[in-house]
Amino acid sequence: MTKENKGASVDRRKFLAGVAVAGAAATAAPLKNTARAAAPAPNADRPVASVQTAENGLVQPGPYSYAAGKPGSDFMVDVIKSLDIDYVVTNPASSCRGLHESLINYGNNTKPQMLTCMHEESGAAMAHGYYKASGKPMMCLFHGTVGLQHATMALYNAWCDRVPIVVVVGNHGDAASRRPGVPTAHSAIDPIGLIRDFTKWDDQPWSLQHYAESMIRAYKIAMTPPMEPVALSLDGHIQEAPIPEGSELFIPKYTPTAPPQGDTNAVREAARLLANAENPVIVADRMARTPEGMPLLIELAELLNATVVNQYNRMNFPNTHYLSGGGGAIARADVVLGLELTDFFGAVNRFVDSEHFQLSSRVRPGTKLISIGVGDLYTRANYQDFQRLQPVDVSIGADAQATLPALIEAVRQEIPEARRATIATRGDNARRAFAQARENALQEAMWGWNSTGKVSLGRLASEIWDKVKGENWAFCGDSLNGNVTRLWTFDKAYQHNGGSGGAGVGYNLPAAVGAALGHREHGRLVINVQNDGDSMYAPGAYWTSAYHNIPMLTIMNNNRAYHREVMHVQSVGNWRNRGVENFMIGNEITKPNIDYATLAQSLGVNGIGPITDPSELGAAITRGIAMVKAGEPALIDVVTQPS
Amino acid sequence: MQRILKTAAAVTGFVVLVSSSALAQDAENGNQLFQAKGCWTCHGTMGQGGRGPKIAPGPLAFEAFAAYVRQPALEMPPFREPILSDAELQDIHAYLLSIPQPPDPADTIVGQ
């Protein structure tokens, strides 16, 4: 503690003594602060209301002074720094003002640096996208109650997508010490209760030491598979008050928890099934937690010449590999290995959304199913993101990536000599099928090639690819009805940032900004294919990208409607024989058409378009890329066909 | 009348001349219907595919086409008689028939 601070804390003690006197006096004369007996006489001018109150002696003695000592929130910054967190994303809030001030003035706004977002939902989605691009969790600093209410959907997405985020919300627990009015209305007994169904752990620390422990614990829990958001409610008073004298605060050491690996016997059983299969198929969803995941899966797949169906929530497998296949492969499988599938049921069953409930198996009777994943290790009850229960033959509750080395070894040992020829033939067939699929994809990209007014998605994906294929690029956003994943070559772990997890719309724009921030230090050209409806939930994220100099090229997939919903309403209308004439009511985003280029410009992002003639696309994309390479975000509005 | 001509066109060279302009008219009407009845929202304005598959160029033969639209097997919502007449269905089919083949990938950036 510095000299001045020491002096100040003495003053504080004096102040507290005064309060004690005042307290005693208050019994006799409520609301009268006798410690202020020597208050100046009323002045002649008409005072403002607050001055009047003071002059009338109506000030209630406070239970604290924030004026002196090293603030508690400085210690909180020390703890955050110990975790090597790079960014704190915030929408500023009075309940967090103590920590906010410490982050910028004590922590010098570096590691972590504050990011300003314009909606807590955008902030949480930024943290979500950033984690997947960088492998590092962000901290979100939000106002309790109303701020957290804004953040909820984005946190649900992160929960479904198994993404760690450390959420910290400000709250004032003590009714006697908190500010009345709005701060009181924004206080809660249990602010985190709102998101408890989709966070892995939370706490409301009641002292600085408690905070230090809980922050380290929260981070550790978030980073242990299944990785999920965690939350702390930080009391405003503990942030703002000086560190109590005599406190011996310390920061516990953070040691990452090694992810759980599959049981040896179960892994051996899985290996036996795979090694002896006629047609093994691997379906991977949230498997590749780190860049090491992809080479492991390649090794396993090549050992078996098994088709890999990548569900793209993580970049599990290169689409340039001859074993990369479509979901149709599942129908031919006799053994299916599911790696970190949130929805194994959906992978092996087919639901047809039609007039009559149609549910059927995608797999042949007798197909053996093997599941490796952390989904079985942690589930919450309320929200149904765990999907329907899929009975399987071997169920391994473990982290799939951590289990792959043992599985690869076991498969190597289990492959019978007599099988090797069959496995080699499988590889030859896969190579032929892959080449054919590639040819088909190119052909399919041409359908609707010259469509004007509404550009075809195959054309759009092709035009972007033509300009980015020579660059060091990364992709986020909508895959344009699969055209992007069919036509572009994805062979690096960072090139695809996956989906939202919970399908909560409004995710993509801020998540792309977060991802672009993660890619920035690597100099990657980030292409964000942005759906129009999604971007209008909180377009302030464009401003955040401009303010924080986060370069990214947004291509607006502007089909001017909530098109998925159009199709739902059409279906119901037809089932009822009422026709489809009115299908745009409640679904269209026209009259007026939104001018995204101008919107972007007003938020500090370069805007180009709208483009309705596909022959203009190439030049526009070249221009947009030049802007992004100059370090600025840019947007190209393309009016498109629905997907 | 148009339909009679179309049938006739199949057997006599003479009527073909007459029917080709009639067909063009049908196709234009079919285009309007394809958009108004919302086929485009799932199949794209040129039938190139979207949520639903590609249905043009080279649509199914009329019988199979009509049978599917009237009673789809899977996710496509059925367009039954009260909401889409046989004549309208014929015109939509004429529109799909009129859609030209796209360029060869080799002649575009796709093939490069």
Predicted pLDDT at A46: 53
Task: Kindly state the greatest CA–CA separation across chain B.
Answer: 49
Whole-angstrom Cα distance, residue A476 to residue A132? 11
Chain A CB contacts of B69 under 8 Å are none
Residue of A nearest to B111 (CA): A442
Which of these, B84, B91, B86, B89, lies nearest to B22 by C-alpha position? B91
- What would the pLDDT profile of A95-142 be if each residue is shown by its tens digit? 999 999 999 999 999 999 999 999 999 999 999 999 999 999 999 999
Residue of B nearest to A579 (CA): B83
Sign of CA dihedral A327, A331, A332, A335: positive
Of A240, A275, A300, which closes a domain? A240
Whole-angstrom Cα distance, residue A485 to residue A492? 13
Please report which confidence band the pLDDT of residue A63 belongs to, taking 50, 70 and 90 as the band edges: low
Chain B CB contacts of A619 under 8 Å are none
Chain B CB contacts of A466 under 8 Å are 109, 112
Residue B60 lies inside a defined structural domain of this protein: yes
Whole-angstrom Cα distance, residue A406 to residue A232? 37
Residue A600 lies inside a defined structural domain of this protein: yes
Q: In 10 A of CB A160, how many CB atoms? A: 22
First to last CA, chain B: 49
Whole-angstrom Cα distance, residue A374 to residue A228? 12
CA distances to A52, A116, A312, A365, A400 from A124, in Å: 43, 12, 21, 43, 26
Shortest Cα–Cα distance, B52 to chain A (Å): 9
Q: Is A351 on the interface with B (CB under 8 A)?
A: no
Residue A46 lies inside a defined structural domain of this protein: no
Please determine, for residue A435, whether its predicted confidence score (pLDDT) is greater than 50: yes
- Residues of chain A above pLDDT 90, percent: 86
Do A486 and A406 lie in one domain? The reply is no
When scoring B33, B48, B80 by the number of chain A Cβ atoms within 10 A, the one with the most, hence best to mutate, is B48
First to last CA, chain A: 62
Name the domain count of chain A: 3
Residue A59 lies inside a defined structural domain of this protein: no
**What is the domain extent for residue A475?**
446-639
Residue of B nearest to A573 (CA): B77
Q: Do A567 and B72 touch (CB under 8 A)?
A: no
SS3 per residue for A548-574: CCCCCEEEEEECCECHHHHHHHHHHHH
Chain B CB contacts of A442 under 8 Å are 105, 110-111
Name the domain count of chain B: 1
We report the CATH number of the domain holding residue A415 as: 3.40.50.1220
Residue A43 lies inside a defined structural domain of this protein: no
Please determine, for residue A643, whether its predicted confidence score (pLDDT) is greater than 90: no
Question: Any idea how long chain A is?
Answer: 643
Do A160 and A293 lie in one domain? The reply is no
Whole-angstrom Cα distance, residue B33 to residue A580? 11
Please determine, for residue A328, whether its predicted confidence score (pLDDT) is greater than 60: yes
We report the CATH number of the domain holding residue B57 as: 1.10.760.10
Predicted pLDDT at A62: 58
Q: Residues near A36 by Cβ (< 8 Å), separated by ≥ 6?
A: A57, A59
Question: Among A64-78, A238-252, A346-360, A471-485, where is mean pLDDT lowest?
Answer: A64-78
Question: Any idea how long chain B is?
Answer: 112
**What is the domain extent for residue B56?**
26-101
Do A412 and A459 lie in one domain? The reply is no
Considering only CB atoms, which residues of chain B are within 8 Å of chain A?
36-38, 40-42, 44-51, 54, 57, 72, 74-75, 77-80, 82-84, 102-105, 108-112
Neighbour-count burial of A418, counting CB atoms closer than 10 A to its CB (0-12 exposed, 13-18 middle, 19+ buried):
exposed
**∠ Cα A236 A237 A239 (to 5°):** 65
ipTM of this complex > 0.90?
Answer: no
Which of these, A633, A550, A536, A626, lies nearest to A589 by C-alpha position? A536
- Under DSSP, is residue A527 helix (H, G, I), strand (E, B) or coil? strand
Q: Do B103 and A449 touch (CB under 8 A)?
A: yes
Chain A CB contacts of B49 under 8 Å are 444, 447-448, 481
Instruction: Give the DSSP letter of residue A608.
Output: E
Residues with pLDDT less than 70, chain B: 1-21
Whole-angstrom Cα distance, residue A473 to residue A494? 9
Residue A256 lies inside a defined structural domain of this protein: no
How much is the mean pLDDT over chain A?
91
**∠ Cα A217 A222 A223 (to 5°):** 100
Overall average pLDDT of the A169-198 stretch: 95
Please report which confidence band the pLDDT of residue A26 belongs to, taking 50, 70 and 90 as the band edges: very low
Residue A515 lies inside a defined structural domain of this protein: yes
Sign of CA dihedral A373, A377, A378, A384: positive
- What would the pLDDT profile of A556-615 be if each residue is shown by its tens digit? 999 999 998 999 999 999 999 998 889 899 999 999 999 999 999 999 999 999 999 999
Residue B21 lies inside a defined structural domain of this protein: no
Whole-angstrom Cα distance, residue A466 to residue A400? 35
Q: Do A448 and B46 touch (CB under 8 A)?
A: yes
Of A462, A572, A575, the CB nearest to B110: A462
Chain A, residues 408-467, CB within 8 A of chain B, namely 442-451, 453-454, 456-458, 462-463, 466
When scoring A439, A487, A570 by the number of chain B Cβ atoms within 10 A, the one with the most, hence best to mutate, is A570
Residue B54 lies inside a defined structural domain of this protein: yes
Q: Give backbone dihedrals phi and psi of A339, rounded to 5 degrees, phi first.
A: -110, 115
Instruction: Give the DSSP letter of residue B101.
Output: P
Of A448, A575, A580, the CB nearest to B48: A448
Overall average pLDDT of the A63-84 stretch: 89
Do A587 and A499 lie in one domain? The reply is yes
Predicted pLDDT at A216: 98
Q: Residues near A26 by Cβ (< 8 Å), separated by ≥ 6?
A: A32, A34, A61
Q: Do B44 and A641 touch (CB under 8 A)?
A: yes
Tell which wins on pLDDT, A36 or A519: A519
Do A159 and A234 lie in one domain? The reply is yes
Do A85 and A234 lie in one domain? The reply is yes
Chain B CB contacts of A467 under 8 Å are none
Please report which confidence band the pLDDT of residue A310 belongs to, taking 50, 70 and 90 as the band edges: very high
Do A181 and A294 lie in one domain? The reply is no
Whole-angstrom Cα distance, residue B38 to residue B65? 16
